[in-house]
Every structure is written in C-alpha cells, then in structure tokens.
Homo-oligomer: A and B are copies of this chain.
C-alpha cells in the first residue's frame, strides 16, 4: 500500500518543486515570523496548502503536521498515518540566494519512520526512500556513506550553537577537518546522507528532522538527541545526525 502512496508523493514533490522554481522568479510577499531572520513567503504558504490538499487525496484519513500550520493542528499522538511537511526549508536562502533550499515530506506510521523525501530544489535532486527499501537520489540507489571519523570529516553545526558555545560544540568544530554552514536543514541533511559531511548538529523542529531521519536511519547513520536519547517526533530537539564513528568521537567532546 505504501508503494502506491510513494509513487504519488514522488510525483507531488516534483510538481511542487517546478512550481516553486517558477514562483521564485515572480513577485511574492515576504513576512517576518518570530524575527527578522525567520521569514515566511507566500510561496511557503501556497506550497503547504497544495501539498496538504494533495496528501489528503493520496492518503485518505492521514493527519498532517506542517510548518505553516495549515495541516492538523495540535497533533498530540502519532497513531495511524502522520505526514510531516516542510513546504520550503531554508526560506531565508530562498529569498536572498535563490539557492540552497529544500522541500521535505515524511510519513510516520504509528510513530514509525516510514517514508522520507528531501528535494534539493535548484539541483532537482530528490533524496527519497522507505524503511527497509533503501535510499535513492532520483532513480539511483545510494550506498551508505563510509563511517569516516570526525578528525577527517567535515561537520555542519548551526550558527547559534557555535556562537553561544552550546554543549562544547565549538570544540567539536575544532576537532573536525572543517566547519560548514549552509543555512538549510535539507541541504545539511543531504550532506550527511551523501557522505559530504560526517555530522550535522542543529536544533531541529519536527519538519526539519522527520524526512532526514527516515533516510539517515535507512543508511545506517546515527540519529539522536545530543543527550543520547531518541528525538521526539512532535517536538524540537537538539539533534545529531552522523556516521557511527563521528558520533562516538563527538560524544567524547560534548560529554
């Protein structure tokens, strides 16, 4: 049953991506949400409304948790089919760069990570997969990345965690070969999935993590809260996604 849903959702996210790339070069409205660096555009809202409507057709009876709040509000349980939707991840990049943003969807079934989709929009590269069935980039099957250690790898850590010295993370950056910041959970998650980064550490809301978690776990990567616990699907978490080796190296530094 999820095979049919999967095929329909791949088509949906590709269609939404083409709409997004077209809308990027047309006039749209930008508003501040919580702060001058937390933006929402009419494109985020249009995408979310369209995605949520289509998901209700593709997967009748599902419940939806989506960033801008058009889906089911106040989800308190994970029973049944729950879709978690980020209609544009990296809105600031979308507005200022016209690059380095993504669209993310995930299906959790009775709380189990089941289907995940991350679209690298400008490159038209869809990272998608399902539990037990592997991860693909468009049509090509992905190999699990090599479990490189922290010292030889590049890490992405979000800037507030570095600038406020949270959990000794500047020392993690120092111990790595290099520190990267792309400003989009989608792009940074893709970095770890593809082996370009050995770790990504950030404070992530449900829609920032849900899809990446499905894909990362399927590739044998570690996904956990920085304190070692399993992230809660419906809350914000300070999360690490990493190779096994880098995860162990980082735990020695963050304590």
Q: Which residues of B contact A36 (CB under 8 A)?
A: 151-152, 177
Minimal beta-carbon separation of A183 from chain B (angstroms): 5
Interface size range on A against B = 20 to 34
Q: Is the CB of B154 within 8 A of A196?
A: no
Interface class of chain A by DSSP = mixed
Quick one: CB contact mask for A212-234 with B, threshold 8 Å, 1 for yes? Answer: 00000000000000000000000
Quick one: CB contact mask for A176-203 with B, threshold 8 Å, 1 for yes? Answer: 0111111100000001000110000000
Q: Which residues of B contact A98 (CB under 8 A)?
A: 196
Q: Is the CB of B196 within 8 A of A153?
A: no
Quick one: CB contact mask for A143-172 with B, threshold 8 Å, 1 for yes? Answer: 000000001111000010011000000100
Q: Which residues of B contact A183 (CB under 8 A)?
A: 154, 178, 180
With the chains together, A116 CA to B97 CA distance in Å? 23
Minimal beta-carbon separation of A202 from chain B (angstroms): 13
Judged by a CB distance under 8 angstroms, whether A173 is at the interface is yes
With the chains together, A143 CA to B149 CA distance in Å? 43
Specify the chain B residue showing the minimal Cβ separation from A196.
Answer: B97
**Which A residues from 86 to 126 make CB contacts under 8 A with B?**
92-93, 96-99
With the chains together, A123 CA to B181 CA distance in Å? 20
Judged by a CB distance under 8 angstroms, whether A25 is at the interface is no
CB contact under 8 A between A174 and B163, given known A154-B97, A196-B99: yes
- The winner among A92, A151, A179, A182 for most chain B CB atoms within 10 A is A179
Provide 14 A-B residue pairs closer than 8 Å at the C-beta atoms, listed in order of the A residue. A92-B154, A96-B177, A96-B195, A97-B154, A97-B191, A97-B196, A154-B183, A159-B178, A162-B163, A163-B170, A163-B173, A163-B174, A180-B182, A180-B183
Which chain A residues have a beta carbon within 8 Å of chain B's beta carbons? 36-37, 92-93, 96-99, 151-154, 159, 162-163, 170, 173-174, 177-183, 191, 195-196
